Chains A and B, each alone.
Chain A
Amino acid sequence: CSESDLGPISLNWFEELSAEALP
């Protein structure tokens, strides 16, 4: 799969989603 199919990829997705999510 290519990045364009899946959108921008982040190696730190877990930390970033945790910072964005409701507490």
Chain B
Amino acid sequence: DVAEQLTPVLLDGLREETLQLESKLEDSSSSCAVDVSTMWWEAAGCRELCVVTACESSVSLWKPLASDCWGKVYTWQLGEIPVIQIVPLPDTCNLVCIALGDLEIGEIRLLLYSSENDSFKQSLVKTGNIKAVLGLKDRRLVSSSRTVQEQQVEIVSFSETRRSKDGQTLMPPEETVLAFAEVEGMRDALLGTTAVNSIVVWNLKTGQLLKKMHVGYSYPASICHRAYSDSGLLFVVLSHPHAKESESCGNPAFRVIAFNPKTARSTGVMFSSLPPGHAGRYLEGDVKDASAAAVLTSGAVAVWDLLLGRCTALLPPPPAGSWALARWATTGACLLAGQRDGTVCLYRY
């Protein structure tokens, strides 16, 4: 019965893309799962894609064992400040960051494995009133933080074992930056979304704030998930956690908008809404390439093809509970769906 209820629902008009349950990771010791992610772990010359799970007081690393099972490799114990989120560092090995805090992020820590002396460590990266954080390529991390007077947007970089001493600051906009996205294919471009629904673009090399563009009033509190430049336009994938249902667009979870960075004009390219008849608003989600996944207020997880603007699969809520987390693995077409009790299901998409 349980397996049946964890099976994705195929929606009308579905093509071959579906979700297949591959394995299940159960953590009996987890008090309250807060996040899940993946990271590369290399030990004794063997490199594997591992799962990282976080509960409020600890973060665990899981490696794949034989026959679709997972074994816990190590658990980092944290202090009294609760873990809020895992911050993966793309294209790195043996490194992951975490954000800790009460209502807001107050601290970022680096968790690492040193293959040289086969040991697991943790170190403090940054403290402050941190509003947004994102791991960047080339072992870097960007964050926005606020003091009463000003906002700081800072990039820190890491060696294999620690944070580098010198950070780099980017010119802050007046408004608070609430999310970041790297601009794919443009090594020196970084994008952010702000508290007043603007898109800002930086030059990472020079720290310049290049452009501020307003998203529009229809969908407040836009959060950027992905950005890429094509044919002179900047395409941005946004989610709208506070959007209201409209007749024309249904219940939009994600939108793709094309901006002309020269003129700051924009146009909507695609909406990704729930199919008619399915209730539930967007709670939280993740985007990788053209695939988006989101946990809905109904307790289900929905998956969309962003280019088609179509929902391609729906995971119904698990028995006696609901999904709390939906994340794409950093490599491979794999969706991690997590429940608050620490159970994580891995689906092949």
Contact = CB atoms under 8 A, between A and B. Distances in A.
Interface size class of B (residues with CB under 8 A): 20 to 34
B189 A23 contact: no
B262 A8 contact: yes
Nearest to B188: A14
Interface string A1-20: 10001111111011011100
Contact of B203 (A1, A7, A10, A18): A18
A6 B210 CA distance: 18
Contacts of A5: 265, 267
Classify chain A's interface size.
Answer: 10 to 19
A8 B208 CA distance: 23
B67 to A, nearest CB: 49
Contact of A9 (B209, B232, B266): B232
- Chain B binding site: helix, strand, loop or mixed by DSSP? strand
A23 B232 contact: no
B269 interface: yes
B32 interface: no
Nearest to A18: B203
Contact of B262 (A1, A17, A22): A17
A13 B261 contact: yes
Given A1-B267, A18-B203, A10 B209 contact: no
B214 interface: no
**Best-surrounded residue of B210, B234, B261 (most CB of chain A within 10 A):** B210
Which 6 A-B residue pairings sit nearest by Cβ, starting from the closest? A7-B263, A9-B232, A6-B260, A17-B210, A1-B267, A21-B208
